Structure formats: C-alpha cells, structure tokens
Structure 1
Amino acid sequence: MIYEERDYRIKAGKLGEFVKIYGEHGLPLQKEHLGNFIAYFTTEIGELNHVVALWSYQSLDERTAKRKTMLADPRWQDYLKRVDGLIDIQNTRILNPVSYSPLQ
C-alpha cells in the first residue's frame, strides 16, 4: 500500500471558494475514479491557505492507471476550469508506511 499526499497552497482569500468547488465537483469525480479517499484537511495554524488530501493505492502502477482514466474524463476537465486561478502551489508526495504504522 502507498499513500499519496497532495498539498495545495491556495491563493489568499480563496480557500473557502476552493474547498466548496472541490467538495461539490472535484471530490465526487475523484472518488469515482481513484477510489480510496483517506482524508482532506485545511490548515489552521502555521502556513495558512493550505489544503491537504490523502489517497491510498495498492501500487504506483494502480495510481498511474486510475489517474490516467480520471484525467481523460471531460467532467474532470470541467472541474479544472472551475479552480483555475485559485491554486498557487501544489506539492505531491508518495508515502510508504513503516511496519508499525496503523495505516498499512
């Protein structure tokens, strides 16, 4: 099992708008295509205007195949147009749990 952490810094003053659009349009499509949604967070203390999403996959190959299908979906392209201009920076990391992690 691998975990994907996506950290988006949203432009100042746009966090609420981004979270609303994602919840209504992005997340339903991602759940349909990607499957194992773990969590979604916003920051409260520290560097603000961030959202962090966690997804899990059996392998990098599974992740690649599922994301390829999602990116080809015209509804996903419509979602991307809705959030255009709201994201400042995106970072993506693949995380591997250690043997004693409660998430395997």
Structure 2
Amino acid sequence: MLRALATKTGRVWAAKQSGVGQRALFSSGPQQQQGTFYEFRTYFIRPEQNAAFLQLTKEKIHLRTAHSELLGYWSVEYGGLNQVFHIWKYDSYSQRAGVRAALSQDPQWLGEYISKAIPMLSVQDNEVTYLVPWSQIQRPPKEGGAYELASYQMQPGGPAVWGDVFQAAVSAHAGPGYGHLVGVFHSEFGPLNRVHALWWYESPDGRAAVRHKAHEDARVVAAVRESVAHLQSQSNKLMFPCTFSPLK
C-alpha cells in the first residue's frame, strides 16, 4: 500500500514539470460535489466573563438553533484559553444569508443574547469549510470524552498536490483505532490550503495513551513522513463539549 502511495505521489511531482502539472499545482483537486458547508466559529472570551458567557449561551442557544443546525459547541481546554469553538451546518450560501438576515430581525436573539454576549467577547473569527470527499460526519460511540481539533496548514496547490498523502496519514491513525475520526474539513474561506481533522477520545489520558502507541506504529510513521513534506505548520486544540452541544 505504501509502495503504491509513493508511486502515485511520485507521478504527481513528476507531472509538475509539465504544463499539465503546472495547472494541477494551482488546482483545488476534485471538485466539491455538494453545497453543504460547515462554518467554524471561534470566540475569544474576556477571562473574567468566561463562566458568565457559557451560562448565558446555555440558557439562550435555543434562540439560535431555531434558525439553523448546530453541529457542535465546545469549550477549549488546551491550545487556547478562554475560547469556545462551534460548527454550524448550512445547505447553501443563500441559506446562510437568509439565516443571518432573520437573526438581525429577531428581537429575542438580539435582546436576550447578542446585547449581553458581545461585551463578553474580545475577538470573533470564522472559517467556511467543506468535508473532504472521502470523509463523513461520524458521531462518537458514546457521549462525553474529549475532542481534538488538529489543524494543518498545507503548501499551496490544494488536494491535487497533497490530498492523497494527507488522506493516507489520517487513515493510518483512524484505521487502527488510534482515535475516532469525527470528520475532516478543507477550508474554502479563511486561510486557504488548511485542513482540519476533528477527533474524539474517551478522555485526555486516553488520547495521550493512543498517541504514544501510534508513534510506535511503523505504518503511521511512514504515512506521516510522506505528508509532512507538504506541511507548513500545524496546531491543535483539546476541547470539551458543552452540555448543549449536539456532539457530546
């Protein structure tokens, strides 16, 4: 399998020397086949307001979910203090525009949540992502546990250049059960050539144990070595789902 992967990767790099390869270098790879996208939102909370913000959101989140689907809502434990991360699902950009317009006219949402929540925040950030073609949302086998959002800034060129080796690296971890893969997302708006892998573990200690085991697996080491040749940087967050999060 690794030999076939290396051969295929070699063909990609060889093709870059031709005119076709130069076009592939700037291609996004396989075209997105569905309109559904996922908006990643990260809020930075003022430290003294962290508990109050989470309580307010718990009490009023139903005002927001009445307008569109919430996939998950997490509090960041490691990799960023006083942050929450949430994922919203949309079927189209027109749907999202309609949701935003409706929210701007919703007196309950504005009066009971937004007017109170905004002063508690210091920064808001968002990113539009799609599931990569070979990934689906896979809910964890049970509630509880910890989630890891691993984010990879890949070299310019898109999946046409690094998609196969990145998939092999993720599959090398997911296949043997070194973590439960919830989904893999590719950025559309926000930093380009960024890929996010969302993982679930029974506990932070469980995550540490399986990661140590994975580092001793020759297949994982080989697959990661192929992938990092296309990697510019990476970061991760360990997160716990909020009580109101659909993904728990």
Partner residue of 1:4 out of 39, 58, 62: 39
TM-score (norm 1): 0.91
Q: How does 1:1-104 map to 2 (within 5 A)?
A: 1-25=36-60, 27-34=61-68, 36-78=69-111, 79-103=113-137
Alignment deviations for residues 4-56 of structure 1 (CA, whole Å, 9 cap, x no partner)? 1110000012111101101112x11111112x110000111121100011110
Where does structure 2 lack aligned partners over 5 or more consecutive residues? 1-35, 138-182, 184-248
Shift in Å at residue 100 of structure 1?
0.9
Identity over aligned pairs, percent: 26
CA–CA separation in structure 2 for the residues paired with 1:83 and 1:97: 30
Shift in Å at residue 82 of structure 1?
1.5
Higher relative contact order structure (alpha carbons within 8 Å, sequence separation ≥ 6):
1
Q: What secondary structure is seen at the aligned counterpart in 2 of 1:54?
A: strand
Aligned residue-pair number: 102
Larger radius of gyration: 2
Shift in Å at residue 73 of structure 1?
0.4
TM-score (norm 2): 0.40
